[in-house]
Amino acid sequence: MIERSLFSEHHEQFRDTVRRFLEKEVAPHHARWEDEGYVDREVWTKAGEAGLLCTSMPEAYGGADADKLYSVVLFEEIARQGYTGLGFGLHNEIVAPYILSYGTDAQKAKYLPAMARGEVVGAIAMSEPAAGSDLQGIRSTATDAGDHFLLNGSKTFITNGWHADLVIVVAKTDPSAGAKGTSLLLVERGMPGFEKGQRLKKVGMKAQDTSELFFDNVAVPKANLLGDVNRGFVYLMQELPWERLQIAISGIQAAQSAIDWTLEYTKERKAFGTTVAAFQTTRFKLAELQTEVQVARVFVDRCIELLMQKKLDTATASMAKYWCSDLQCKVIDECVQLHGGYGYMWEYPVARAWADARVQRIYGGTNEIMKEVIARSMGLGGR
């Protein structure tokens, strides 16, 4: 196995902190959370107390001013154990960075410290019943009403939506301008007309609260406009490389964990008088899977290096997202097969990982969209 060179001693110390937190505060409860469809609210404040939230935010806003590698460590450790109920990644490295990058001083001072403490849970509302990967097709509108916007519309598949205290809502402020008429609004829990719908029952990621959101003439103050009016689509595109790389990072770690579980299982499971691992077909299959994951890991680590150098482009991040999420699904499916009937039992982590993996090819932009982005970077235009 190729030794990774990304992380310093400090990063590995943080990894130990994350593992201890997961063992103490998550492991005893995650099965119950899967049944209930959401995590306990207090795990957010405990994560804040442990220093796991918004680590890359400046110290002035409650963060640790840490580099993105600390967030990579958090993604990997959550994926290693399959604790997909935790929406920390989206909160830490999607919602908070939008506020840091495009928010006013007042917005940053108001929201970021509370997010770092886990007192405010963040979400971002893009997808709609009729608009998923095609963000240009969103129908939610924010009409200028003087000192505020009147927000109307609905969103679905919103991660952290049930617990969310603050939601970045993507809406059309100029419906006639297409993508150029999109803005981002900061909508707070309790604003009149803002309602949360049912928690959605998913095939996998059952402990992660995912819900519908509804906006009926919500008066959003102009002070809650994030960035400039009609610049929302540009902001979304600028943040996409990091968002898509996060999916690749988690995906490749989940695939590695599935191999590790399967290796242990096949060494112990007996069939026809010997262990399952003793059969050549098992050994060759695991060798194939490990090779593919190792190759993908090297590419993802290189993408992380480019991110740290501020050189990661959208097309390369799209390659990582598409390739690693496809590979994740393939690897875990093969590992389920090697577990036999037990691989289909929910009590086995490989079964839960199999169910959790499928959405990786869909969210963050479907893999078909990833291929379109890559093709266009090659000078291959579509219609």
Question: How much is the pLDDT for 383?
Answer: 62
Amino acid found at 7: F
Given a contact cutoff of 8 angstroms between Cβ atoms, the answer to whether 75 and 69 are in contact is no
pTM of the model: 0.94
End-to-end CA distance of the chain: 44
Where do the DSSP E strands lie in the chain? 122-125, 141-144, 148-159, 166-172, 182-188, 194-199, 210-221, 225-226, 270-271, 274-275
Residue 185, burial from CB neighbour count under 10 angstroms (0-12, 13-18, 19+): buried
- Specify whether 77 is catalytic: no
Give the other-Cβ count within 10 Å of 332's Cβ: 29
Question: How much is the pLDDT for 1?
Answer: 77
Spot the catalytic one: 76, 243, 264, 292.
Answer: 243
Given a contact cutoff of 8 angstroms between Cβ atoms, the answer to whether 212 and 170 are in contact is no
Q: What is the pLDDT along the chain (383 residues), one digit of tens a residue?
A: 788 999 999 999 999 999 999 999 999 999 999 999 999 999 999 999 999 999 999 999 999 999 999 999 999 999 999 999 999 999 999 999 999 999 999 999 999 999 999 999 999 999 888 776 667 778 999 999 999 999 999 999 999 999 999 999 999 999 988 888 999 999 999 999 999 998 899 999 999 999 999 999 999 999 999 999 999 999 999 988 999 999 999 999 999 999 999 999 999 998 899 999 999 999 999 999 999 999 999 999 999 999 999 999 999 999 999 999 999 999 999 999 999 999 999 999 999 999 999 999 999 889 999 999 999 999 997 66
Bridge pairing between strands 182-188 and 194-199: unpaired
Instruction: Give, for 14, the enclosing helix (H) or strand (E).
Output: helix 9-21
109-135: burial string, b at 16+ Cβ within 10 Å, e else: ebbbbbbbbbebbbbbbbbbeebbbeb
Give the other-Cβ count within 10 Å of 45's Cβ: 15
pLDDT tens for 178-215 read: 888 999 999 999 999 999 998 899 999 999 999 999 99
Question: How much is the pLDDT for 199?
Answer: 87
Helix axes 314-339, 232-268, angle to 10 degrees: 30
